Structure formats: structure tokens, C-alpha cells
Amino acid sequence: MSDKVAVPVLLEANELMSIRGERTLFSDLQLRVQAGEIWQIEGPNGAGKSSLLRILAGLLPAQAGSVSFQQQLISEDREAYYQNLLFIGHKAGVKPELTAIENLEFYAAVQGVELKETPYELLAKVGLVGLEDIPAQGLSAGQQRRIALARLWLTQASLWILDEPFTALDVEGIALLHARFAEHLKAGGAIILTSHQELITEFYQVQALRLRYQH
């Protein structure tokens, strides 16, 4: 906090290459994400955006290259990395049999976040007031998505990797998310995300990584 000159590098990817089937998605990809930065991965469908996010999260092995978090290869110390990572993928990980509250409480507990009280207020904030204790399968896709995104308020992870966080959200929800992003970046966190929409916001500067579709 005292030394503002050297911004710590959170995530660093070197010479990444990914091949799905017979097609090379990308090769020699470099990425350096510093604290306070938000990166948007752009590109057409099938260019490998989701694959890149999954490689960065350590879910998918890269054909070549390395990913390190705070100068430590993620394959060497997964637990330390995952303590500081929040990944919300295409499938959000919300159990449909459980209520919004139960889902959130589970993820808070396994991520080491102490909940002082039942997160009614938070759920109200994300627009789920009155739906807190209905099993998630009774909610709409957008509402289920909101449960997953509510985790953004219940985490101490410094790096967020989010696959299409804005899908199925209304204008209000999007604005809320932007505000939360800004807050996170200000606190020294970093975000990597994919989105179909242009991220236009006055809150922060977006860095872009463009993937081309390769045949």
C-alpha cells in the first residue's frame, strides 16, 4: 500500500498455446495482469475465450506455456492460487436443489469467508428479495445467475475470472456489477472477463486482449 510505484503483478501467462481437436486456438499468448487492472478477452465465438479463461484458472491444461500467480506457477501451488481466485464459469455452480442462501453460505464457508449474518441484505441488493429461501430450480436463469454473482460480494479473492458475467442481467444488474468491479479494482484486485458487450463505463479503464478466430 505504501509503495505505489511498483504495482504487483498478480497473474502472468507466458507463451500459452491451446489446441482443441485439430484447431489451434491461440499460440504464444502473453498476458500480464497487475493489481487494479481489468482485462476483457474479446473475439468471435470459437476463438478460444472460454478456453483461455479455463487455462488461466487451471481447469484446462495448456498445450504449451505457463501460468503463474504472484510469481508462483499455479500448477505448483494450486491451493494458494485458489485461495485468491474466484472463478465463475459458464455453468455457475449453483445447486438447483438448494436455496440462494444455502448456496451462498456454502461457497462463503469453503472460501474461508466468515458470514456474520444471513446475507439477506446482499440478496436484496442483487434483486433477489423475497426469493432467498426458495430452491434455486424455481428461479429464472437470470435469477440463478444473480445468486452466483452475489458471490462477488462474499469473497476476499484478489483475482476474479468471470465468463460472460453480464448475460441474463438487466440494466440495473449490470450497473451494480460495474460498481462492484470498481470497488474491487480500487482495493487492489484484478479482473479478467469475457463479454459480448462493449464495457463502457466511467468507473475504470478496460484493457483488452483480442483473440482471432483461426482456421
Q: Which stretch binds another protein (CB under 8 A): 27-35, 116-124, 175-183, 192-200?
A: 27-35
In 38-115, alpha helices (H):
49-56, 78-83, 100-110
Q: For residue 179, how many other CB atoms are within 10 A of its CB?
A: 12
Smaller CB distance to another protein: residue 59 or 129? 59
Shortest Cβ 107–another protein spacing (Å): 7
* Residue in 1, 6, 171, 200 binding another protein, rule: CB under 8 A: 1
Shortest Cβ 12–another protein spacing (Å): 13
Those residues whose C-beta lies under 8 Å from the C-beta of residue 104, and which sit 6 or more positions away, are 119, 122, 123, 147, 150, 151, 154
**CA proximity to 42, closest of 212, 156, 159:** 212
Report how far apart, in Å, the C-alpha atoms of 15 and of each of 46, 51, 68, 160 are.
20, 15, 12, 22
Give the whole-angstrom CA distance, residue 17 versus residue 14. 9
Shortest Cβ 171–another protein spacing (Å): 26
Q: Does 156 bind another protein (CB under 8 A)?
A: yes
Sites for another protein among residues 82-141 (CB under 8 A): 82-85, 87, 89-98, 102, 106-107, 109-114, 135
Q: Does 60 bind another protein (CB under 8 A)?
A: yes
Q: For residue 188, how many other CB atoms are within 10 A of its CB?
A: 14
DSSP state of 76: T
Q: Does 31 bind another protein (CB under 8 A)?
A: yes
Q: Does 46 bind another protein (CB under 8 A)?
A: no
Give the whole-angstrom CA distance, residue 128 versus residue 144. 9
Smaller CB distance to another protein: residue 172 or 183? 183
Q: Does 19 bind another protein (CB under 8 A)?
A: yes
Residues that bind another protein in the complex, under the rule CB under 8 A: 1, 8, 15, 17, 19-31, 35, 54, 57-61, 63-65, 79-80, 82-85, 87, 89-98, 102, 106-107, 109-114, 135, 155-158, 187-189, 207-212, 214-215
